[in-house]
Amino acid sequence: MALLEVKNLKTHFFTRNGVVKSVDGSSFSIEKGEILGIVGESGAGKSITGFSILGLIDSPGRIVEGEINFDGKDLIKLSENELQKIRGDEISMIFQDPQTSLNPVITIGEQMMEAILYHKKGVSKKAAYEACVEILKTVGLPAARKRMKSYPHQLSGGMKQRVVIAMALLNNPKLLIADEPTTALDVTIQAQILYLMKKLSQEFHSALILITHDIAVVSQLCDKIAVMYAGRIVEYGSKEDIIFNPLHPYTKGLIECLPKLNDEKKRLYQIPGIMPSLLGLPQGCYFKNRCEFSDDECDTYPLQQEINGRIVFCHKVK
C-alpha cells in the first residue's frame, strides 16, 4: 500500500468574489522512500495541495471533498489535536522562506528541542540537545554545537535552510513536504541543499514531496512528477516520461522555456499569455487560450487518459 494516497482532493476558498477552486480534484500517491515533484506556476495550487495534506487550510478555505490516506488513516477525518501529533513527527514540512519559518527571538537549539520534547514524552532535555547537535552535523552546518546557541539572524540564508531541514528531520518523519525549499537561495547553495535533501531522504527512508515552479530542479531530484495548472493536475507520471517525453502542451512549454546553457538561439521559447485567474477560468480546458493545438474539442474539459502508466488530461494526446 502506498504511504500517502490522495484521492480527488478538492480544496476550495469561499471568498466574497466567488469560490476559488485552488485544488480541484487532485489524485496522486507516493510510496515509501519515493520523491514526488509537484510543478506549476504561482497560483496553480501546488502549495495548497501541500497545506491540505497537513490540514493547514484556514478559513475561508476548506477541504470540500476527497481522501488523504496516510499510513492507514484518513487525515481529513482527524481532529485538530490528532493532526497536531502528526505534524512535525510523522509528516513535516519545509517552507520556502527560512527567514520566516524560524522564530527570531528563540535560539536555534531551543526551537529544535521543542520539536523533540513535544512529540516524544520521556526524552530528557540533555538527550534532546545531543540529538539536535547530531542532526545539525548531518545537514552539514559548520560548528554545529556553537550554532545551537545562535539566533536565526546570525545565520545566512543557506545555513537557516539547513537548520529548517534538520528540524524537519528530527523525528525521522515518514513524509517530508518541501515547499519551494530553494527558491530564496543562490544557485550554488541551491545545489547543496538539493543534494542534501536527496541524500537525507534516502538515509532516513522518508518519502519526499517537492513543490516548486522550476521543472529543472524537479527533474534532478524526483522519481515521479505531477504538473499542476490552475488547480488541477494536467500530467502525472514517472520522471523519465514527463521530462524526456512530455505529452501535455503545458509540460512541453515549461521544459522548452528553460534557459539552456548550450543553446545558440537568440530568443527563448515562451508560453504565450498568463495563467487565468481562478475566479475566471475559461469554459473547457483551462489551458486552451495559451495552447497552440487548441480547437473546438477543447471547449469541454478533457477526460483522464492513461498512457503507459502516465496520466494526462488533454484532447490532443492520443
**Which triple of cell numbers denotes residue 310?**
502516465
User: Strand pairing of 305-307 and 232-238?
Assistant: unpaired
Between strands 91-94 and 175-179, the pairing is: parallel
**Using the rule CB under 8 A, is 140 a contact of other proteins?**
yes
Q: With binding defined as CB under 8 A, does residue 190 bind other proteins? A: yes
C-alpha span between 89 and 117 (Å, rounded): 11
As a whole number of angstroms, the distance between CA 316 and CA 318 comes to 6
Site for other proteins in 193-222 (CB under 8 A): 194-196, 198, 213-217, 219-221
User: Residue 117, SS3?
Assistant: helix
Residue 260 interacts with other proteins (CB under 8 A): yes or no: yes
Q: Which is nearer to other proteins, 140 or 282 (CB)?
A: 140
Q: Round to whole Å and give the CA distance between 268 and 258.
A: 8
Under the binding rule (CB under 8 A), the answer on residue 191 touching other proteins is yes
Tell me: does residue 3 bind other proteins (CB under 8 A): no
Question: Does 230 sit near other proteins (CB under 8 A)?
Answer: no
The dihedral through the CA atoms of 96, 199, 228, 59 has a sign that is: negative
- Minimum distance of other proteins from residue 309's CB (angstroms): 20
Which residues 32-91 are close enough to bind other proteins by CB under 8 A?
Answer: 41-43
Shortest gap between Cβ of 245 and other proteins (angstroms)? 12
Which residue is associated with the grid cell 539572524?
153
- Dihedrals φ, ψ of 76, to 5°? -70, -30
Residue 159 near other proteins by CB under 8 A: yes
- The three cell numbers of residue 152 are 536565526
63 in the Ramachandran plot: left (φ > 0), alpha (ψ -120 to 50) or beta? Answer: beta
Nearest distance from C-beta of residue 71 to other proteins, angstroms = 28
Pick the binder of other proteins from 118, 151, 204, 269 (CB under 8 A).
269
Burial of 5 (0-12, 13-18, 19+ CB in 10 A): middle
- State which of positions 289-308 bind other proteins (CB under 8 A): none
**Binding-site member from 25, 33, 157, 284 for other proteins (CB under 8 A):** 157
Of 21-29, 58-66, 151-159, 280-288: span binding other proteins (CB under 8 A): 151-159
Positions in the binding site for other proteins (CB under 8 A): 41-43, 140, 156-159, 186-192, 194-196, 198, 213-217, 219-221, 243, 253-255, 257-261, 263, 265-271, 274
